[in-house]
Amino acid sequence: MQETHDNFDIGLNSCTKKILDLLDQNPTPVILIDGQGASGKSTFAQLLQDEIFRETRLAPRVIHMDELYPGWDGLQAGSSYLHDVVLGPISNKKVAHYQIWDWENGHRGSELEPGNGWREFSGGNLLIVEGCGSLSKANSELADLRIWISSDRTTRFSRWHERDQGKFDPYFVTWELQEQEFYKENDSALLADIKISN
C-alpha cells in the first residue's frame, strides 16, 4: 500500500524506519528516489544517508543519476545503464562496475577521476540511488523501497535556476520533456511505495 506524506520530515522518518527494518533482513537493500528535476531528491537522499549513518554508524552508498546520464538527452539511457550495469549485477550478488559520465568532455570516464571514473559496489551495505529515471518498471523490480518526491513546477524551476545561477536554465524544458515521456511510459509515481511532497 502506497504511503503519501505532505511533510518532508515525516516522510523522512517513515523511510528511515522502513530502511532500518530492511537492513535487518537484507545486507544490501536498494532504495530508489525519483521525481522531476529539482524536486528535492538529492537533498532527501543526503538526509536519508545521514539518518541511517546516525542509527547504524554505517555510511550508505549513494549513486546520483547525474553520474550515469550520457548528457542532457540521456535520461532514458541513464536509467537503462543503471539497470544493466548496477542493479542487475547487484541483484545477482555480483560486483557492480560502472563508469561516471564526464559532462565537460561528453564521454564516460575522466582522466581527472581516479581509475578514469570507474566505480564499483560489491554489496553488503545500503545502496541509495537518486535521480530522474531511477524508478522505471525494470528498476523497480530490483529495488526494496521506492520513493517519489514531488514539487510544483514553479518551485522546481526556481531551485533549478538558483542551484547553478541560471547556467543550465536553457535545459530545463529539454529535460522536462524527457521526464514527461519517461514517467508516462513507466508510471514511476505509481510504482513508489512512498510519495512525499516537497
Instruction: Return the pLDDT at 110.
Output: 86
Instruction: Return the pLDDT at 65.
Output: 98
Q: What percent of the chain has pLDDT over 90?
A: 95
Q: Are strands 101-102 and 127-130 parallel, antiparallel or unpaired?
A: unpaired
Q: What is the pTM of this model?
A: 0.97
Cα 82–chain centre separation: 10
Q: Is residue 1 very low, low, confident or very high in pLDDT (cuts 50, 70, 90)?
A: confident
Instruction: Return the pLDDT at 165.
Output: 94
Asked if residue 44 has pLDDT above 90, the reply is yes
Digit-coded pLDDT (tens) for 149-182: 999 999 999 999 999 999 999 999 999 999 999 9
Instruction: Return the pLDDT at 113.
Output: 86
- Find the mean pLDDT for residues 188-198: 97
How many residues appear in the chain?
198
Asked if residue 132 has pLDDT above 80, the reply is yes
CB 95, CB 132: distance < 8 Å: no
Return all residues near 5 (Cβ < 8 A) that are at least 6 apart. 11, 14, 194, 195, 196, 197
Rounded Cα distance, 5 and 148, in Å: 10
Number of domains in the chain: 1
Rounded Cα distance, 88 and 80, in Å: 10
CB 41, CB 34: distance < 8 Å: yes
Structural domain boundaries, residue 51? 3-197
Phi, psi of 143, rounded to the nearest 5 degrees: -110, 160
Digit-coded pLDDT (tens) for 73-87: 999 999 999 999 999
Q: Domain holding 88: CATH number?
A: 3.40.50.300
Q: What percent of the chain has pLDDT over 70?
A: 100
Digit-coded pLDDT (tens) for 20-32: 999 999 999 999 9
What is the overall mean pLDDT for the chain? 96
Instruction: Return the pLDDT at 101.
Output: 97
CB 32, CB 139: distance < 8 Å: yes
Q: Is residue 112 very low, low, confident or very high in pLDDT (cuts 50, 70, 90)?
A: confident
